[in-house]
Amino acid sequence: MFDLVDIHCHTLFGIDDGATDENTMKSMLDTAYSDGIRAICFTPHFKTYEFDDDSEFEDYRKRIDDSFSVADLYVKEKYPDMTLYLGNEIMYHNEILDSLKAKNCTSLNGSSYALVEFQPSTSAFEIEAAILRILRTGYRPVIAHIERYNALIKKPSLVSELRNMGALMQVNARAILRFKFGKISKFIKQVLKNKQVDIVASDAHDNTVFTQQLSKSMLFVSKRYGESYAKKIFSTVPKAILNNEKIH
């Protein structure tokens, strides 16, 4: 069994719609550790339209830093072999690159990989244009929970087009286990079979069994699509992202 690496979760408390308080955050960290996760990158939502002015950005960053300090202290004492990192799940917007430059939001562990999400209804054209724009400025986008976008579900060939451009594809662990029938299930099976998923992450928002399913999902993928592929998308690639290594 290899170490699991989770690069998308909302475990930091008091920031977004993730952990509501310190105890919830700590119980989520306990669950993550017992699930076999040894590296976590916290990715609080970053939605630029939620900020009215610079002081709100400052307040947001301060809350993240404070919450991270609590998590870091807890993990260092209780789980010294687990490492914590910081990033954001960035809702795509036109000023995304200005926000990254101004450090109002951050890429995954400050690497050249940025976790980006879109609205479920964003068109294929808009997604392609956005990916191109991010790539041109030197960041490699990791597209969060690709199973949520109608444009990709309708036209799965877009996944290979986006990967050829340089984007990386992330799927949520629970989606792999949850969708047994229907178009989302068909889409997930197809991209896994074609080995077009680059990363699986928890996207955990709370401590329910429903959200904390990384190891269960890894075993499912390992059995169906092979252990080496499971290792790659649950451990090797997410680790390489956090280390800012080049991924082919």
Which residues would be at the binding site for Fe ion (CB under 5 A)? 89, 203
DSSP 80: T
Give the C-alpha separation, 49 to 92, whole Å. Answer: 11
Distance from the Cα of residue 235 to its chain's centroid: 13
Residue placing its CB nearer to Fe ion in the complex, 197 or 231: 197
Smallest gap, in angstroms, from Cβ of residue 205 to Fe ion? 7
Phi then psi dihedrals of residue 7, to 5 deg: -105, 15
Going by their DSSP bridges, the two strands 83-86 and 45-46 should be labelled as: unpaired
Smallest gap, in angstroms, from Cβ of residue 1 to Fe ion? 26
Q: Let me know: does 131 contact 165? Beta carbons within 8 Å.
A: yes
Distance from the Cα of residue 165 to its chain's centroid: 19
Nearest to 216 by CA among 3, 36, 46: 36
Smallest gap, in angstroms, from Cβ of residue 50 to Fe ion? 15
Smallest gap, in angstroms, from Cβ of residue 183 to Fe ion? 21
DSSP 9: B
Smallest gap, in angstroms, from Cβ of residue 142 to Fe ion? 12
Smallest gap, in angstroms, from Cβ of residue 89 to Fe ion? 5
Give the C-alpha separation, 20 to 12, whole Å. Answer: 8
Amino acid in position 28: M
Give the C-alpha separation, 127 to 133, whole Å. Answer: 10
Smallest gap, in angstroms, from Cβ of residue 236 to Fe ion? 22
Amino acid in position 17: D
Residue placing its CB nearer to Fe ion in the complex, 11 or 104: 11
Give the C-alpha separation, 2 to 239, whole Å. Answer: 12
Nearest to 171 by CA among 193, 134, 197, 140: 197
Q: Let me know: does 155 contact 124? Beta carbons within 8 Å.
A: yes
